[in-house]
């Protein structure tokens, strides 16, 4: 039984990285932080004759 557990552990560890060297993951897109205000504002007095 001890031999089977050791063999299973060895097989699992041997399977790690079987496809080559590990590569770093691509960086995720960071969401924009802060406040963004868009639009149009007008101030004044208007009179039509």
The whole-number pLDDT of residue 14 equals 75
C-alpha distances out from residue 18 to 6, 13, 38, Å: 19, 10, 52
- Looking at residue 24, its pLDDT comes to 80
pLDDT one digit per residue (tens) for the chain, 49 residues: 888 988 888 888 776 656 667 778 788 777 777 887 889 888 888 777 6
What pLDDT is recorded for position 16?
A: 67
Q: What are phi and psi of 37, to 5 degrees?
A: -120, 125
d(CA 21, CA 12): 17
Model pLDDT, residue 19: 66
């Amino acid at each position: 039984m001890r031999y089977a557990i050791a063999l299973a552990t060895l097989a699992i560890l041997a399977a790690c990285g079987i496809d080559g060297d590990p590569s770093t993951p691509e960086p995720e897109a960071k969401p924009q932080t802060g406040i963004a205000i868009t639009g149009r504002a007008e101030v004044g007095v208007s009179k039509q004759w």
